Amino acid sequence: MSTRANNTTIAGWIIFLSAFFLFNITLFIGKYEITATSLRSSGLNDEQLEILTTELGTIPVQNLSKYEIVRRVSPALTVMNDKLKQDGRTNLVIYNMPEMVFQIAKGGLTGFYAKNRALFFILVFLPGILGALMIYMPKLKHEKPGIKNNGIYFNPLTARKWLGYSLSAYLVLFYVFLYFLPVHITEMIAITDPVSESILGSPAGKWFMYGLLYTIFILVMGIRFIIRYRHNRYQILRTISVIFFQTVIAFSIPQILTILQKPYMDFKNIWPLDYSFFFSYRINEYLSAGTLGYFMLFWGIALIIIAVPLFTWLYGKRWYCSWVCGCGGLAETAGDPFRQLSDKSLKAWKFERIAIYSVLVFASVMTLLTIVSMFLPDNNIFGAPVNVLHGIYGFLVGSVLAGVIGTGFYPVMGNRVWCRFFCPLAGYLGIIQRFKSRFRITTNGGQCISCGNCSTYCEMGIDVRSYAQNGQNIVRASCVGCGICAAVCPRGVLKLENGPVKGRIKENPVLTGNLNNIS
């Protein structure tokens, strides 16, 4: 790049990192109070408020830190729950204590930061987006299109070095706080209040903040991805697709449904990825919402039993995992710098198959028991409420595997950790793709020069070069059809194709049990 373009990139990094620093420093400038108003804003009813207020003692209390809020409110909520249980009023017990502490804290956020949330939003998000775009825009003019390997295994961010591990630790902490201790990121959530209030007329919850961040990351990093792969029409189109599905289908339409007081639904989310689809409260919401609710129920079931088999047979799992899915969208855009970190070993392949199908079985059994429980007294399974099972699955799969590990480990294990090892929908799609699909990646082994680009950049940990050298089509269940292997091949050895099912798997295929075929 020219000196001018390089200066623009450096300036972009400075602006972006300044916005990132301000976003995080807000965590230490919030002030809180406990008042009757802040307690009522949490959604507690009069009976709960009466007990809680008594336990808290004298209110209002002002000029508190969020740690003091936790120290005061958590014990009072515990005593309140104990008294409600003793009185037999278990329907008033608060089971999600961390969420309630967060709601009380957010309702009591006050001081300079609370009064200037719109200013902080502008100072964080606009420079952050501008800086990120300035980092990559010069490449449009000064670099030829195509992937660049320069320094990828020397960069401290993309080569499992100190910066990558630091980013991973930051992401893990963010997800732990988001899922389990949201009170500790109250200021981060409050910074998106101006957007939530302008759209929904109410302050932002943690999932609104996360959805907004998620969408912005896919949009901005999607632009970066398009710049990097602008020589490849397939990559441009699928990136535009995931940006559209995240921005419109996953984020905007659910907000419209909320405004209209209709059931929440991400119309692209499919069971078992949407593991709560068959929960009784969701079914009741659909049935009570009239025509639209019945359509939502029909839509969700049709996706499971019609769309998934049909489209996977026609196009492989790429139609969803690389063109529609929000998890895949984040992995392909924000996670793209880390795709070369996926483990290509035979050991990782074996673990992958055990892990992903174990989660699929877990999701299937949980869903079956959920449906059965609807016809049993008190929705109990084996003498325990079915929501206990829901909580276990939500904690292990929905939170730890999908969020904490699935995204937090991008800089350590590559960008498709969740999709490769744990996503139950990917497992469902993969079974169909492996045995009954027209999709395959064909290889022309005679042209292969063994450069290894294809294997290096396969985010699903497939040793693509071994298939090419053995003249084998790639029909692995894990392949998401991202097409990067074909995009980085300098000889045009690889092609994503659809064709007859017969003959797509060659004789003597590359398998985990056929080690002689692994180069």
What pLDDT, on the 0 to 100 scale, is given for residue 7?
A: 87
104 token code pair:
């009380």
H-state helical runs in 26-137: 36-40, 46-56, 66-86, 97-107, 111-115, 117-136
- Top-confidence residue, 57 or 486: 486
pLDDT value at residue 310? 97
**How high is the pLDDT of residue 116?**
96
Q: What is the pLDDT of residue 509?
A: 65
The neighbour count for residue 89, using CB atoms within 10 Å, is: 13
Say what the pLDDT of residue 141 is.
Answer: 64
Q: What is the pTM of this model?
A: 0.93
Using one digit for the tens of pLDDT, what is the confidence trace for 139-179? 666 677 767 767 888 999 999 999 999 999 999 999 999 99
Q: What are the pLDDT digits (tens) for 323-373?
A: 999 999 999 999 999 999 999 999 999 999 999 999 999 999 999 999 998
What is the token pair recorded at 472?
């084998």
- The pLDDT assigned to 516 comes to 47
C-alpha span between 267 and 245 (Å, rounded): 9
Using pLDDT thresholds of 50, 70 and 90, give the confidence band for residue 6: confident
Judge whether residue 511 has pLDDT over 70: no
Name 415's Cβ contacts closer than 8 Å, sequence gap at least 6: 331, 332, 334, 335, 336, 338, 339, 341, 342, 459
Q: What is the pLDDT of residues 310-327, one digit of tens each?
A: 999 999 999 999 999 999
193, with CB counted inside 10 A (0-12, 13-18, 19+), is buried
Q: Specify which residues 110 forms β-bridges with.
A: 31
Question: What mean pLDDT do residues 197-206 have?
Answer: 95
pLDDT above 70 covers what percent of the chain? 95
Q: What is the 3-state secondary structure (H, E, C) of 221-287?
A: HHHHHHHHCCCCHHHHHHHHHHHHHHHHHHHHHHHHHHHCCCCCCCCCCCCCCCCCCCCHHHHHHHH
Its sign, for the CA torsion 99, 101, 104, 105, is negative
Judge whether residue 24 has pLDDT over 70. yes
Q: How far apart are CA 354 and CA 375, in angstroms?
A: 33
Distances (CA, A) of 194 to 43, 485, 504: 21, 42, 53
Residue 388: how many CA atoms within 13 Å on its side-chain side?
Answer: 9
Q: How confident is the model at residue 517 (pLDDT cuts 50, 70, 90)?
A: very low
Q: Which DSSP category does 146 fall into? A: S
Instruction: Tell whether the model's pLDDT for residue 309 goes beyond 80.
Output: yes
Cα separation of 474 and 466, whole Å? 10
Model pLDDT, residue 512:
52
Are the C-beta atoms of residues 338 and 221 closer than 8 Å to each other? Answer: no
Mean pLDDT of 498-510: 77
- pLDDT tier for residue 519 given thresholds of 50, 70 and 90: very low
Report CA 320 to chain centroid distance, whole Å: 15
pLDDT at 507 over 80: no
- Mean pLDDT, the chain, integer: 92
Give the separation between CA 18 and CA 189, rounded to whole angstroms: 19
Q: How many CA atoms lie within 13 A of 92 on its CB side?
A: 21
CB 32 within 8 A of CB 108: yes
